[in-house]
Amino acid sequence: MNEPNFQLKGSAVTAIVLELYQYDTQAFRDALQEKVSQAPALFTASPIVVQLDKLESTLDPSLLATLLKDCQNCGLQPMALRLNDEQAEQLTELPLPRLPALNSRSRTVEPEPSKAASEVVVKTVVEEKIIERASKIVTRPVRSGQQVYAEGTDLIILAPVSEGAEILADGSIHVYGPLRGRALAGVKGNTQARVFCQSLEAELISIAGNFKLSDALRAERWKQATQISYQDDQLIVMPL
């Protein structure tokens, strides 16, 4: 019997979404470059979904090509487009796959659109469905480059999380040691999720798509026992 050549498997992947409200080429380039420079380790070479269904003006094929090229010049890797039906009719030859419209079981963390001429909003798309399971417990250190995901449950790590590592959970995250990598809790939309750690040294903390980077975290409880929650549309950093 011949061995199969491949397998198709489901995978949990956090996706950065670039949701565009207005588009001016130079303003977009400047705003995107500034955003990427704030967290190059997070954004550089990251795949993104370009969401255009809330764009106020029509984007013709040449402007779309310019938009995608600007993303690539900033180190991002466009992987798909999200369009409404009218846009899909106008853009008959798409340079990237088209994702289906968000349904009622999906949500995104949406700030109020700015009235400025152009604004780039970067966020994480999350799904609301959460499966109840026993907590996932990890006893070994999570090394740089590793990713650990707790699907439908909390993640408990009884060891350090190194810089460059990524830990994700549909529920809360507990780290009984230094947290130096990226921690993303409530990745399927659970705003009640929290992040707990013995020493806050993270590159990024995210709850339900809302995140703070290390620069902001350093100003609060750096290298201290900490819990982070989501309240009133922002992440709250508190003593543990």
Beta-ladder partners of 142: 161
**CA-based nearest residue to 147, from 135, 133, 131, 136:** 136
Paired sense of beta strands 173-179 and 120-127, if any:
unpaired
pLDDT for the residue numbered 49: 86
Q: Report pLDDT digits (tens) over 180-225.
A: 999 999 988 899 999 999 999 999 999 988 888 888 899 889 999 9
* pTM: predicted TM-score of the whole model, two decimal places: 0.55
Tokens of 144: 């740089």
pLDDT for the residue numbered 101: 61
Strand order in the sheet with 47-51: 98-99, 77-82, 47-51, 16-20, 120-127, 106-108
pLDDT for the residue numbered 1: 57
Q: Report pLDDT digits (tens) over 150-168.
A: 988 999 999 999 998 999 9
Tokens of 51: 């969401």
Q: How far is CA 39 from CA 28, 95, 170, 210, in A?
A: 17, 27, 24, 15
pLDDT for the residue numbered 41: 63
In which residue ranges of the chain is pLDDT below 70? 1, 9-15, 39, 41-42, 100-133
pLDDT for the residue numbered 106: 39
Beta-ladder partners of 125: 108
Q: How far is residue 70's CA from residue 31's CA, in Å, rounded to a whole number?
A: 11
pLDDT for the residue numbered 11: 56
pLDDT for the residue numbered 110: 42
